[in-house]
Amino acid sequence: MAPWFEAGLYTPLYSLAGNGAPTFNGFKLRALFVEPDAANQHFTYGVNFEFSYNTEHWNQNRCTQEIRPVLGWHLGPLDVIVNPILDNSYKGFSELDFAPATRVAYHFSKTWAVAAEEYDDFGALREFYASTQ
């Protein structure tokens, strides 16, 4: 839509049930605001918002939102992207869930790269999960 704005609609979202039948999970709206020309910057930043409608078997909360800050470093052929994500189920600020993600990619060329992503969930901001969880 603009060099600093991307919009998306993910619909419908399906997964396969245990019996192999497709199961409707919901849909998502996405708005991403980023620094223009981010791929050519040493440090880049942005924020992504996802608004989801979920079916009950997929998520006990019918409407959810993800607030995903984007912090990235392009270090030659290596990219490091950090997302300190807050998941929101519209139950108040104290119920925001901290679920950070990290991505590291090595670019062999402009068209080929290998990457690893890691996702966590530490629980609600007011009280993180115990270390045993």
Q: Yes or no: say if 24 and 12 are a contact pair by the CB < 8 Å rule.
A: yes
Q: Yes or no: say if 41 and 50 are a contact pair by the CB < 8 Å rule.
A: no
Q: pTM of the prediction?
A: 0.78
What is the average pLDDT value for the chain, to the nearest integer? 89
Q: Yes or no: say if 47 and 33 are a contact pair by the CB < 8 Å rule.
A: yes
Q: Yes or no: say if 82 and 110 are a contact pair by the CB < 8 Å rule.
A: no
pLDDT tens column, 24-72: 778 889 999 998 888 888 999 999 999 988 887 777 878 889 999 999 9
pLDDT of residue 86: 93
